[in-house]
Structure 1
Amino acid sequence: MCELRHPVLRLRQLLDAGWSMRRVQRALRTGELRRVRVGVFVPPDACADAVAIARHGGSMACVTAARHRGLRVLDEDDSPHVWMRPGGRSHDADCDCVEHWDAPGVGESRREPSLARVLRQVLLCRGVEAFFVALESARRQRMLDGDDMRWLAQNLNAAGREALGLSRDDADSGLESLLRWRLRGFGLTVRTQVRVAGAGVVDALIGDRVIVEVDGRENHDGASLRHKDLVRDANAALWGYVTLRFDYAMVLHDWDLVERAIFAALARA
């Protein structure tokens, strides 16, 4: 993924921004721009997804757009997702792009989907868990305003509205969001980013005594970090807490074991 906010550039956009055709040609010669098809360009540092979408036609959509905008995304599908407006057409039949054909609303940009629309695409394409994680990531980063939240409330299905109502702006990781979502129906008190005596701020506190720490996909098994975790767990135990630690793979792919471990700890606490 590249850091460019608008990696796909169309000739009309460049001309509207004050570029002349001579400047466009010069940029192509010097490598400042790269033509991917007629009238569509990308900067030289555009990511592979941006290049694929520029060739295909349309704009970044769904999990591709969410990831590109800095949201946490559970989905591991590497296929580029493309927003295709009514009247558009595919230009690259050989790519593995996933097309989204939802039409823009009144007053909405036709060049790229709004963040609220991206989140709705995630819900409809990848399901409510992926939506909830991306939604809480957007709220954590203060990327959604009141109008966005109202649009979502009016344009989501029942599962999406439930997720919207449960969502908060304090989740520090996608795994914390997923943990709260999957435990929502058990009547448990699940608090995230809680300061606990002896341990400092923990990922989640379930009930009064069970601490859950969830480690992301990044390497978290270095000796110094492992020692720090053990010290935190020991200090928490001195204060009567039980600490459970799960990694990304366990939460995503072995949830049954995670759930049983949590309830066993709650029964003993």
Structure 2
Amino acid sequence: MHAQVTCLSALEPARVWTGLPYDALHLQVPPNGRGKRPSRTSEGRVIVYHWAAPRYPDRARSWLVGPMEAVWQAMRCLDEEHAIACLESAVHEGVLTRAEVGVLCRAAPARLQPGIRDLEFTADSGLETIVRRRLRHTWYTVVAQVRVRDIGDEDLLVEGCVALEIDGARWHGPDRFHPDRIRDLKTEALGRRSIRLTHDQILFEWETTFLAIKRVVDDAVFVRAHHVGPVLFAKHDPL
């Protein structure tokens, strides 16, 4: 039985967003494929079979599907939230072009069409896509990748007054601790609140995380609306 690595297993090495942690091996086999079909690899990993002829064949590869096919299978395998994050991530990582994503989207399942209309390609990570969309669905104004002088790009700016920094494991190792705290201080000095979110707080503790974000944003909006005088938190001369 001829099989190719596909879907999440093909995308993860390219650092494309693949959703929640998983340990399965995704293999694509012809719909009329025959032969023994083991349920696990020799290392004990569960095998997920995709019984399908390649929609976007890549004849240059024998054991691995091409990027278009891998993302196409992932769109059908992931839920809506993670599928949209996968599409944005594929463009950010240079695996697909926007034109290629457009081709995939035109043939996408109906369940993904509302999310496809929200595609933005501004996020640096799948986590940023997820947080941006979740907050917008609760009617907050969220702008991604806001360029700030002397700071750089803020991942997300909520209601123009609270900066969210998304600390995914890839970009925020131990060597980022001190530089990240400098960024937080500079953000606060601009009169904005700063919140730093982790992978687990977003994916596994969202209810608590959202309540914290809501409280900070609502308080910041209230203070801004009721402030009288010069720019909020302007620098004061020493007494």
- State the TM-score, normalizing by the size of structure 2: 0.77
State the Cα distance separating 1:135 from its structure 2 match. 0.9
Aligned with residue 143 of structure 1, among 95, 105, 109: 95
Counterpart for residue 72 of structure 1: 17
CA shift digits 1:171-209 (9 cap, x unpaired): 112211111122231232222221235633211111211
Judging changes above 3 Å, is the alpha-carbon distance between structure 1 residues 93 and 185 closer, same or farther for their aligned structure 2 residues? same
Give 5+ residue unaligned stretches, structure 1: 1-55
CA shift digits 1:112-141 (9 cap, x unpaired): 544333223223222122212221111113
Q: Find the aligned partners of 2:98 and 2:91 in 1 and give their Cα distance.
A: 11
Contact 2:162 2:193 in 1 (8 A): yes
Q: Find the aligned partners of 1:64 and 1:90 in 2 and give their Cα distance.
A: 22
Q: Find the aligned partners of 1:265 and 1:151 in 2 and give their Cα distance.
A: 40
Q: Find the aligned partners of 2:104 and 2:73 in 1 and give their Cα distance.
A: 11
Contact 2:91 2:121 in 1 (8 A): yes
Judging changes above 3 Å, is the alpha-carbon distance between structure 1 residues 159 and 206 closer, same or farther for their aligned structure 2 residues? farther
Amino acid at match of 2:57: E
Q: Find the aligned partners of 2:176 and 2:58 in 1 and give their Cα distance.
A: 46
Aligned with residue 230 of structure 1, among 167, 174, 181: 181
Instruction: Please tell me whether residue 97 in structure 1 is matched to residue 47 in structure 2.
Output: yes
CA shift digits 1:17-72 (9 cap, x unpaired): xxxxxxxxxxxxxxxxxxxxxxxxxxxxxxxxxxxxxxx74111111011134413
Judging changes above 3 Å, is the alpha-carbon distance between structure 1 residues 175 and 94 closer, same or farther for their aligned structure 2 residues? closer
Within-5 A mapping of 1:1-269: 57-95=2-40, 96-105=46-55, 108-109=57-58, 113-145=65-97, 148-197=100-149, 199-218=151-170, 220=172, 222=174, 225-269=176-220
Question: How many residues are aligned here?
Answer: 212
RMSD: 2.5
State percent identity of aligned pairs: 27
Q: Find the aligned partners of 2:119 and 2:207 in 1 and give their Cα distance.
A: 23
Q: Find the aligned partners of 1:129 and 1:149 in 2 and give their Cα distance.
A: 16
- State the TM-score, normalizing by the size of structure 1: 0.69
Contact 1:199 1:233 in 2 (8 A): no
Q: Which has the higher contact order (CA 8 A, sep 6+)?
A: 2
Deviates more, 1:73-82 or 1:117-126: 117-126
Amino acid at match of 1:97: I
Contact 1:197 1:239 in 2 (8 A): no
Q: Give 3-state SS (helix, strand or coil) of 1:77's partner.
A: coil
